[in-house]
Amino acid sequence: MEGGSGSGWGIVVPGHSTRGEPSTRCGTLVEHAAALAEARRPEVVVFSGGALRHGTTTEAEEMLLTWPGRRDVELVLEPTARSTAQNASRSLPLLLAHGVREATVVCAPLHAYRVRFFFTRLYGSAGVRCEVRPAPVAATPAAAAWELAAVVVMRHQLRGARHELETRG
Task: State which residues of the chain have pLDDT below 50.
Answer: 1-6
Superfamily (CATH H level) for 9-168:
HUPs (3.40.50.620)
CB distance 41 to 72 below 8 Å = yes
Predicted TM-score (pTM) of this structure: 0.92
Task: Please write the tens of the pLDDT for every residue from 39-75.
Answer: 999 999 999 999 887 777 899 999 999 999 999 999 9
- DSSP assignment of 41-83: --SEEEEE--B-TTSS-BHHHHHHHH--S-SSSEEEEE----S
Residue 27, phi then psi, degrees to nearest 5: -60, -40
Could you state, in order of their start, the residue ranges of all structural domains in the chain? 9-168
pLDDT score, position 1: 38
